[in-house]
Amino acid sequence: MRKITIAIDGFSSTGKSTVAKQLADALGYVYVDSGAMYRAVTLYAMENGIISEKGFDKEKLIAALPSIHLRFERNRDSQKAHIFLNGRDVEKDIRNLQVSDFVSPVATIHEVRAKLVAQQQQMGLEKAVVMDGRDIGTVVFPDAELKIFMNASAQERAKRRYQELLQRGEDITYEDVLKNLEERDWVDSTREDSPLRKANGAIEINNSEMGIKDQLNLVLQLAKDRI
Ligand code: C5P
């Protein structure tokens, strides 16, 4: 069977990662959550005084990039590979609303994108990879055999994300989550470098009223048709 590359892009909280992960498991492929990489760089900036209440020092972040080392590792009791920032498992720390508030501005910086895209392309060299993000089908793997663009209404996405954060014990309101999603969508789709776009040849799935199982069956069939 030939190995293919699968790129899944879309707006925030469209359920990309759930589908991408299950698809990778079903095919025996590697799953890469590219958003986790932008989040980890943001966490580094927050922990090292590059982002603070006073503001965001872009030049300082660019200068710090060589000191930021990211890798994914799957440990015995986690199904999903966790992201490690300079040797520390930060999978949980990168998911809070503070990181979510700063990640999109960080992801507009060309030098940050260049570093992360190069690492993502390296991870995809052998194919057999499912990667989700915002620019996977347009920039990281423009030749991917299967490209998916996921979408859902902002209200539905905020509802899902709010439930997820509540379950994790975060003290937030639905309105905060909706505001964050809308701001990120706007920054992600209007930035100069690699704006969020439906890639050429991508298949759009609107999952506002679609369950996980149906989405998985659909993408699995699309993948099998290309293998
Ligand atoms: O996927 P997730 O919502 O965790 O991504 C967090 C943020 O990282 C996005 O809102 C976007 O600003 C940035 N991102 C990106 N390009 C990617 C993946 C994520 O710019 N490929």
The alpha carbon of 73 is separated from its chain's Cα centroid by a whole number of angstroms, namely 16
Fold (topology level) of 5-216: Rossmann fold (3.40.50)
Q: What is the pLDDT of residues 215-227, one digit of tens each?
A: 999 999 999 999 9
- Selection from 113, 157, 128 nearest residue 17 by Cα: 157
Residue 47: the pLDDT is 97
Decide if 128 contacts 140 (C-beta within 8 A): no
Q: How confident is the model at residue 55 (pLDDT cuts 50, 70, 90)?
A: confident
Query: In ligand 1, which atom is closest to the CA atom of 188?
Result: 12
Domain boundaries, the chain: 5-216
Residue nearest to atom 8 of ligand 1 (CA): 35
- The answer to whether the CB of 138 is under 6 A from ligand 1 is no
**Residue whose CA is closest, atom 14 of ligand 1?**
35
Is residue 42 lining ligand 1, measured as CB closer than 6 Å?
A: no
What are phi and psi for residue 47, nearest 5 degrees?
-80, -15
Over residues 128-139, the pLDDT tens digits come to: 999 999 999 999
187 φ, ψ to 5°?
A: -60, -45
pLDDT digits (tens, 9 = 90+) for 146-162: 999 999 999 999 999 99
Judge whether residue 163 has pLDDT over 90: yes
The protein residue with its alpha carbon nearest to ligand 1, atom 16, reads 134
pLDDT for 145 beyond 70: yes
38 lines ligand 1 (CB under 6 A): yes
Give the mean model confidence (pLDDT) for residues 28-40: 97
pLDDT at position 80 is 81
- The rounded Å distance from CA 132 to ligand 1 centre is 9
pLDDT above 70: percentage of residues in the chain: 99
First to last CA, the chain: 6
Longest distance between any two alpha carbons in the chain, whole Å:
54
Does the beta carbon of 9 lie inside 6 Å of ligand 1? no
Is the pLDDT confidence value at 167 over 70? yes
Average pLDDT over residues 72-91: 88
Q: Give the mutation target among 13, 130, 188, 197 for probing the ligand 1 site: most ligand atoms within 8 A of CB.
A: 188
Among 11, 16, 98, 104, the mutation site with the greatest number of ligand 1 atoms within 8 A of its Cβ is 104
* Average pLDDT, integer, range 186-206: 97
